[in-house]
Amino acid sequence: MTLSEEHVQVIAAEAIKAYQQQEKENQRARDKRLHNTKLLLKNYRSFVRHCDNIKLELDNQDEEEEDIYRIIHSNEVAVEAIKRSKRRTIAMIRFIDQMLVVYKTLSQSSGKEEEARRYDIIEKMYIDSKKVSAEQIAECHNIETRTVYRDVNKACETLATLMFGVDAVRLK
């Protein structure tokens, strides 16, 4: 059975359309991972403060669990869900901390000034207990403020790859 020229063109057009749709979906997924990485960094300090409180709560919770159980007996499932959520937050912060250590090592061992600068920018803007503004960072590194934001974007691409693995890599 042979296909007519018209059938071949229709099949080719549909194949191209399917390929383009798949590429759009892949791009959305990459964008989502990059967005999530930035979101994690922007909320990092809040997560850390929250985790400090959680650790104290979890230490005291075992002692108080019997009292809590009596008070909200009907909401046992809710209490367990809250405890799981708190533990996941702690695990997430530990994971982010590990990936930041890896990123710091990669940046500093790259031998490239801009890579080390990118880590420093991430650390000052999102990680250190005292936040430093983009303008202050630009002045410190003797660069434009826009370069600070470009460096944040590049750093987030690398961090997304570290955090999400091969799914964050754009294959060309």
107-145 residue pLDDT tens: 999 999 999 999 999 999 999 999 999 999 999 999 999
Residue 85 lies inside a defined structural domain of this protein: yes
20 within a domain of the structure (yes/no):
no
- What number is the average pLDDT over the span 26-33? 78
Q: Which of 43-52, 72-81, 131-140 has the highest mean pLDDT?
A: 131-140
Tokens 């191209």 label which residue?
16
Query: Is it the case that residue 157 has pLDDT exceeding 80?
Result: yes
Percent of the chain with pLDDT over 90: 46
- Confidence at residue 54, expressed as pLDDT on a 0 to 100 scale: 65
- Which tens digit of pLDDT belongs to each residue from 15-29? 888 888 888 887 777
pLDDT at 145: 96
> What is the residue-averaged pLDDT of the chain?
83
Residue 125 lies in a domain: yes
Mean pLDDT of 61-81: 58
What pLDDT does 143 receive?
A: 97
Answer whether residue 171 shows pLDDT above 60: no
For residue 169, pLDDT over 80 is answered with: no
Boundaries of domain holding 62: 45-168
In a domain? residue 1? no
In a domain, residue 111? The reply is yes
51 assigned to some structural domain: yes
Structural domain count, the chain: 1
Residue 107: inside a domain, yes or no? yes
Higher-pLDDT residue of 135 and 62 is 135
What single string gives the DSSP state of each residue in the chain?
Answer: ----HHHHHHHHHHHHHHHHHHHHHHHHHHHHHHHHHHHHHHTHHHHHHHHHHHHHHHHHHHHHHHHHHHHTGGGHHHHHHHHHHHHHHHHHHHHHHHHHHHHHHHHHHS--HHHHHHHHHHIIIIISSS---HHHHHHHHT--HHHHHHHHHHHHHHHHHHHHGGGG----
Mean pLDDT calculated for residue range 42-46: 91
Residue 146 lies in a domain: yes
